[in-house]
Homo-oligomer: A and B are copies of this chain.
């Protein structure tokens, strides 16, 4: 009836009636039932955001970007965490789709067959984020991690480093870390450099693991002159290890991480890294969904590849 019109300020309602309704609804502490509303209108102002984790600094920042743009729209993000496990992704996706959201933003391009099928048949805009190395269901916004690894390798080789080690996460399911690794080794090979050592870890405090792995590698292969880490946090641990142990940086060993986390701004020397454009990815993805929703489109087919900026810092240049 009229009440519904007032609460959504739609249609023509006289000023007097409108005020009367508003007053009453406030007095009664009335909160509309969106469930019924959504069922009747076949519209749900929710966007499903599916990400692997919340514990490292990368996804919270993607979320920040998403929130920023969604806050200026009627849309609301709803997040689900997969812990990098395909079967959890499947379940989370199923749960979320059963609420008929206006769109989904999902990390990564690799999904189980079932997940992919759900995404394809959802009939809503899908944006796969973070990574552009692959074929998206609908839209994609991210960076090429393969290229990121390659460019870092080239920068390191160009700086004259020869005995290079890679330290990273042992996550067969972290496809982005894997692609960086592949791009990195590939480019080194092309430059005629073979990786001198590598070390992987899983779980635990990243900063601490960074220290430990750095010690392990440096003891095992003492002539290492560069350490490339799969993320900034372990790189920061490695840097602290070097500082504590009188290892000259970048004189004796050079260091580089990945992500461009804010944390590094306060470190001295400043770590070399590559910005993963996390916030921007979140913004762009949200914009696509917002635009589709407004236009009533069920897909966008956009492809946005951002360019990670290499930041040399103080740890990627020969003494």
Give A contacts to B, CB under 8 Å: 29, 31-36, 38-39, 44, 54-55, 60-61, 63-64, 67, 76, 78-81, 94-95, 97-100, 117-118, 121, 205-211, 236-237, 240, 244, 262-263, 265-268
Contacts and interface: CB of A to CB of B under 8 A. Distances in A.
Contacts of A240: 266-268
Given A99-B35, A263-B205, A265-B207, A55 B44 contact: no
A31 B94 contact: yes
A166 to B, nearest CB: 20
A257 to B, nearest CB: 14
A97 B63 CA distance: 22
B79 A121 contact: no
Contacts of A207: 262-263, 265-267
Contact of A44 (B35, B118, B206, B208): B35
B35 A100 contact: yes
Contacts of A35: 35, 38-39, 44, 99-100
A268 B240 CA distance: 8
Contact of A262 (B34, B39, B100, B205): B205
B54 A60 contact: yes
Given A67-B81, A81-B67, A205-B266, A95 B76 contact: yes
B121 A266 contact: no
Contacts of A31: 94, 97-98, 118
B64 A60 contact: no
A79 B80 CA distance: 9
Contact of A265 (B38, B39, B205, B265): B205
B63 A54 contact: yes
The 8 closest A-B pairs by CB, nearest first: A207-B266, A208-B266, A34-B98, A54-B60, A205-B262, A205-B265, A237-B266, A208-B265
Nearest to A61: B55
Contacts of A81: 67
A121 B76 CA distance: 23
Given A29-B117, A60-B60, 5 more contacts: A33-B100, A34-B95, A34-B98, A55-B60, A76-B80
A97 B76 CA distance: 13
A231 to B, nearest CB: 13
Contacts of A38: 35
Contacts of A76: 80, 95
27 contacts: A29-B117, A29-B121, A31-B94, A32-B98, A33-B39, A34-B95, A34-B99, A34-B100, A35-B100, A36-B39, A54-B54, A54-B63, A55-B64, A76-B80, A76-B95, A78-B79, A79-B79, A205-B263, A206-B266, A207-B265, A208-B265, A209-B266, A210-B266, A211-B266, A236-B266, A237-B266, A240-B266
